[in-house]
Structure 1
Amino acid sequence: MKAEKTALRKQVMKKIEELPDDYIAESDRGIFDNLTKLPEFQKAKTIFTFYSMGREPDTRRLVEYALGQHKTVALPVCAKCGVMDARAIASTEELSLSSYQLLEPLGSTQVVAPEALDFIIVPALAYDREGYRLGYGGGYYDRFLLKTKAFTAGIARERLLMDAVPREAHDVAVRCVVTEKEARLR
């Protein structure tokens, strides 16, 4: 299974790199619109999301929007032992580059308990139609999601949506997959 996932990650990363820039921009706009229209997002007081890098679906605009809506916005901080914390930020000025080359909240930011989160945006290289994801291989989110009852949404480009991704017993599906075309609830 590990070799299958590794090979699939390489294929998907190649597809991502080949996506036209105009499609990326259009997709980002549609994902933002569909995500922010979800009633679960609108009523959420505490949002947990990642801060997108490169050609990942854009969450930077979403972070600014949620902060402007006076929501508590938390971002992940990953430790080498496979543990991830949610840390609240008041602005993007509280982010710095981590050893994983990701923008993460500063160590001085407040930890938010998983059970205090209302809405979680889960990153992935790709999702399938049942809400399972092809992640980056660290297992951080699968472990973290077991600790929370928050509404979970995966964001993906429609062109990368798959019929099925390889699954293992520990994989956790999201409740909703949001693309530029629609939000698919499970």
Structure 2
Amino acid sequence: MDKESIRKQIKEKLGQLSPELREAYNEELLHSLKNSAEWHSAHSIAITLSSASEVNTEAVIQAAWSEGKDVVIPYSGKKRTLSFYSYTKETELERSAFGILEPKNRCQEVPKEHIDLVVVPGLAYSEDGYRVGFGGGYYDRYLADYPGKTISLLYPFQLQPSVAQIKESFDIPIQKLFIATK
């Protein structure tokens, strides 16, 4: 399988997931994350604002805020670069060309070394942390010199052994995968 085939297959499965099972997976993933060493040691967390078919990041963001953690969200800029900006309840958002909600005001970028944990989105993962994302390589470029910890939250069917065979030299593996099991 190639990356496009995997993307299509996983997007279909995400779209077919029942609301009840999605909710159960999301609760399990949030519980696992909140009980992890990565979560406890992080003061600043980078995370995307998820779409309806993805793992629910809103619950993760609410948990981070309730524990006094700083939350930063990405902006996908020119030349396929990614930058992160502080996210609070007052942050104005706009929809990107990719359909992702991003910060409207981008005056003060948060430097990589000030972010303790990046929750990396993706569609499919190998057991050793390589991933097939949404295309574009934004996260691989960002993570190439990122000094902190990286994790991903995934539903069971997103673990795809074939991803290991199609990894490329520029792909950056995620350090820890949290996989729902219900």
TM-score (normalizing by structure 2): 0.92
Instruction: Find out whether 1:117 has 2:115 as its counterpart.
Output: yes
Contact 1:49 1:76 in 2 (8 A): yes
Contact 2:85 2:106 in 1 (8 A): no
Alignment of 1:13-162 (within 5 A): 13-91=11-89, 93-108=91-106, 110-162=108-160
Show CA shifts across 1:113-143 (max 9, x none): 1121101100001212111111011100000
The aligned counterpart of 1:172 is 172
Q: Percent identity?
A: 28
Structure 1 residue runs of 5 or longer lacking an equivalent are none
TM-score (normalizing by structure 1): 0.90
What letter matches 2:137 in structure 1? G
What letter matches 1:32 in structure 2? L
Show CA shifts across 1:60-81 (max 9, x none): 1111211221111100000132
Contact 2:6 2:124 in 1 (8 A): no
Aligned residues: 180
Off by >4 Å, runs of 4+ in structure 1:
none
Q: Distance in 1 between matches of 2:79 and 2:63?
A: 32
Structure 2 residue runs of 5 or longer lacking an equivalent are none
Contact 2:76 2:83 in 1 (8 A): yes
What letter matches 2:80 in structure 1? G
User: Post-superposition shift, 1:109?
Assistant: 5.5
Change (3 A) 1:62 1:55: same
Q: Distance in 2 between matches of 1:51 and 1:179?
A: 19
